[in-house]
Amino acid sequence: MKKQILMTILMAIVLSLTQINQSHAWPIPDTGQTQCYDNENEIPCPQPGEPFYGQDGNYLINEPSYTKLDAQGNDLPDDAYDWVMVRDNVTGLIWEIKTARNNVADYSNPNDADNRYTWYDSNPNTNGGYAGYYNDGQNTERYIQTLNSQQLGGFSDWRMPSLQELLSIVKASAYNPAIDTSFFMNTISDGFYWSSTSNVNELDHGRGVSFRYGYSQHSYKSNTYYVRAVRGYIYNTLEHWINNGDGTVTDTVTGLMWQQSTTEKSWSEALTFCKQLNLASYSDWRLPDKNELLSIVDFSKYHPSFETNIFDVPNSQWNMYFWSSTTLTYDLYHTFIFDFLYGSESGSYKSNQYNVRSVRGGQSYISEALFITSPAQASNWKIGSIMPIQMGYKKLFQAMSQSAFPEKVANQEPLKQLFLPQKTMAHLIGQSPAPSQLTVC
């Protein structure tokens, strides 16, 4: 089971210098992988200092959490038999649920699990330069229009998910289908589901996810595949990086801090390298899991598909493969890797030599341990606004930009560190005789 708790908690609460409204954050859901592996087999999750420590199964950061919703958008218990939508409690997105799976398509019912559509987007600002195939109206654009005209759940703002959004509901510990079927029922096990993302180097191709193994793939927009609609805040993927000037960058959308440089290692070497890394006075680095690694992909670019003005390019321009800490549960010899040359993902033998980019941030959850419930990871605050801090369900203190308002709370462990990209002042009152200072950096 996942046992590691981060001593330094990277919350990335960005205190904006301008008077703007609080913006949305995108905490990255955990992959759902809870077991640990060596190069060939499942093993008990290693402890600090042991081989293979620092892999996906050692951490539980932003544990996947879903809520079933009825036709009016009301919450339902987990064991509800009928539901029409699912809310992702980590990202806040609401997903359509498919019905009537019987191997017979019914295009009068946009929720029918068997319906297949061509990729089509008539908007030149969003179609990647190629609208796709109209297919006499049996296409993704008409599907969304029908869903909104029928106001599923009382909403008319349904849309196609981006590739990152669709990948966020993949469950790495499952396959065939690689999704939590207790919430996302009627998912076609070997089905390919369209996203709204075009393939940047082949404009007549659209991107999507094959839920057999949970990989992103691309296909001709004229082909017919399945679709699952989503609604919720559209996250801005531009101008969300802060170059900290010390070999690290902070993503203000996800709240993660990344190493700018890279090095080549085998998988086990990569795990050790990240855990032993001391960079910018931080020593809690780790190898990113699959979802974290995907968060830095820019699918609008290729060769490479990341921000080269933010991240260093590997020494070999043709080796753009990067390790994740996530093992393929259907093939334990392989680990998930991502090719940043063209923005594609696959699995690879753990003995191969690929690039490593360390990450830090988020809270690794342990039952009955100290855990901050508010503010949310990567939430943004204006200077001068009151920031309530809660651990568990108890308020510890309220902090402003230049002052602090401590409140005594019994039976709580002292907080070690809280990362803020901008300087501020905050103190924590624990049970010690003197207040423990909350380190801000």
Per-residue pLDDT tens over the stretch 176-229: 999 999 999 999 988 999 999 999 889 999 999 999 999 899 999 999 999 999
* Residue 100 sits in the same domain as residue 212: yes
Same domain, 251 and 191: no
| CA–CA separation, 19 and 274 (whole Å) | 38
Gyration radius from the chain CA atoms: 22
**Would you say residue 356 has pLDDT above 60?**
yes
Same domain for 212 and 126: yes
Average pLDDT of the chain, as a whole number: 81
Pair (140, 174) in one structural domain: yes
Position 387 pLDDT exceeds 60: yes
Q: Can you give the residue range of the structural domain that contains 42?
A: 10-63+236-360
Choosing from 202, 232, 262, the residue where a domain stops is 232
Given 327, 360, 393, which residue is the final one in a domain? 360
- pLDDT-derived band at 267 (thresholds 50, 70, 90) equals very high
Determine the pLDDT at residue 367: 52
Which residues lie below 8 Å from residue 278, measured CB to CB, with a gap of 6+?
none
Give yes or no for a contact between 96 and 147, defined as CB atoms under 8 angstroms apart: yes
Q: What mean pLDDT comes out for the span 110-132?
A: 95
Residues 195 and 252 reside in one and the same domain:
no
Cα 115 to Cα 106: distance, rounded to the nearest angstrom: 6
345 lies in the same domain as 241: yes
Query: Does 286 have pLDDT greater than 70?
Result: yes
pLDDT at 241: 87
Is residue 132 located within the same domain as residue 252? Answer: no
Check whether residue 321 and residue 411 sit in a common domain: no
Q: Are residues 321 and 412 in the same domain?
A: no
Domain boundary among 336, 360, 384: 360
Q: Do 56 and 127 reside in the same domain of the chain?
A: no
In a domain, 393, yes or no: yes
In a domain, 133, yes or no: yes
pLDDT band at residue 138, thresholds of 50, 70 and 90? very high
> In angstroms, rounded to a whole number, what is the distance separating the alpha carbons of residues 296 and 280?
20
Q: Are residues 111 and 214 in the same domain?
A: yes
- The closest of 30, 8, 332, 358 to 171, measured between CA atoms, is 30
* Same domain membership, residue 309 and residue 345: yes
pLDDT class of 24 with cuts at 50, 70, 90: low
Report if residue 176 sits inside a domain. yes
Q: Is 0.85 surpassed by the pTM of this model?
A: no
102: its two tokens: 């019987």
Residue 313 placed within a domain: yes
Number of domains in the chain: 3
pLDDT of residue 236: 58
pLDDT, mean of residues 408-415: 37
